[in-house]
Every structure is written in structure tokens, then in C-alpha cells.
Amino acid sequence: MDDKELDHCIKSFKKTGDNLYYEKIYRFFFQKIHRFVLLNISDSQAAEDITVDVFYNVYRYMTKVHLNSASFKPWIYKITRNLIIDYYRKEAKHKKSQSLEQYLEDKQSDGLGEEGKVDKSFVVESFMDSDSTDLIESQFTNHDILKGLYSLPDIQKQVIILRFVEELNYKSIGLIINKNELAVRAIKFRAISRLKELMVK
């Protein structure tokens, strides 16, 4: 779905309320949003609930907010981020939240990449195509990448996911995390430097 089509769907849904337009948007964003939630929350059941909540909120409020293709992406990711924050707040309140170390230990013992909802869906292969960078071979497994990602502070983790996985621009990321573009670049830089320290010893 390109920007033009997304614009058309947003406007048409606002005008007619026809679920067909919502469904197009839903199908286009569902994978992305669920992936973003999964990479932020270790509990796959909670991640599913949050994803559904995101799209329920989108369905309810899309007609009430002035949106276009440029503002829709930051808006939907911001809703997602807020629900993730709410989840962590609730978790902290009920003291049910797992510590990071515990989570990583559990993942390791489970065998990351073999079991669990997130891991099952990984295509474990090198990112480097032989035609693009023939000299460089993939040095890390998905296990390493996830381990590194979960070691980062939340804000760095989210910037990395939004930039490299979801391929959003700095302006959109800034809107999602309430920071300016320079700050987003700085966070990304720190995150990558930290990941290298963690992963390359």
C-alpha cells in the first residue's frame, strides 16, 4: 500500500465509515504493529492483546482525528507505544514483570529461535546477500540480535526497531517518542555503539 492508497483509505473510511477501507489499512499494518509489540514485550499473549487494542483504538478514533498518510504511521505507532508503556506500568504495579536477566535466561534455556511465538517465525538466515556484500559474512544469529536488542534501554530499543525494522524516518520516530530528530539520531548512534560492544567481544 503506497501513500496515495493509504490517504484514499483514510479519507474514504472517514467519509463513508465503510469497513472495507479499514480492513485494507488493518491488513497493511497488522504485521508491522504486531512485530513491533512482540519485539517490545516478552509475553506473546500480552503482545496479542495489545495489538488487538491498538487496532480497536484505530477503528474507534480514526474518524475523529485529522490524519493523512504522513501522520498516520506516527499516530498508530504512538498508540502502540503508549499501550506498551501502560502494560509495563500495570506489570510493575502488580510486580509480575520478569526481569530482563530472567527473561533472557528463560529464552536461552528454551532455545531461542526454536520455540515460542517470536522465535518460530524467524527465518534464520544471513541478511547479507552474496551479490551485495560478498566479502562480509553474517556474524550473528537471530539469537544474538534479540539478546542484544533486549539488553538495550527501552528508548534505544524502540528507536532501533522503528528505524531498522520498520524503516520509519527520523521525523516520524521523533513524533512517536516525543523527541526531536537530532535526539533520535543520537539515540540511534548510542544504541548501535552499545550493541557492538555487547555483541562483538
Partner 1 sequence: MNNDKNVNKKVLKKFLNLLDKGLDMKTCLAHFPDERENLEHYIAIIGNFKNLRNIRVDKDFENNSLKGIYLRTRIENIKNREKISKKGGLLVRLRPAYLKPLVIFLGIFIFMSFSFAGTLYASESSIPGDTLYSLKRTSEGIHIAFTPYKYEKGIYLKLLETRLSEADSILNKTDYTNTAAAEKLMFDIDITYKKCLERKYLGADQNEHTQIRIKGIEEGFRYRYGMQ
The backbone torsions φ and ψ at residue 115, rounded to the nearest 5 degrees and listed phi first, read: -125, 165
**H or E element: which one contains 80?**
helix 69-94
Instruction: Write the DSSP string, 109-158.
Output: HH-BTTBSHHHHT---S-S--TTT-SS------HHHHHHHHHHS-HHHHH
CB of 122 to partner 1, least distance (A): 6
Closest to 120 in 3D by CA, of 94, 95, 153, 142: 142
Closest to 190 in 3D by CA, of 157, 147, 145: 157
CB of 11 to partner 1, least distance (A): 20
CB of 145 to partner 1, least distance (A): 5
Q: With respect to partner 1, which residue has the nearer C-beta, 54 or 176?
A: 54
Query: With CB under 8 A as the contact rule, which of the stretches 29-37, 81-89, 100-108, 172-180 interacts with partner 1?
Result: 29-37
> Where does this chain bind partner 1 (CB under 8 A)?
19, 23, 26-27, 30-31, 34-35, 38-39, 48, 51-52, 55-56, 59-60, 118, 121-125, 127-128, 132-133, 136, 138-140, 142, 144-145, 148, 160-161, 164-165, 170, 185, 188-189, 192-193, 195-196, 199-200
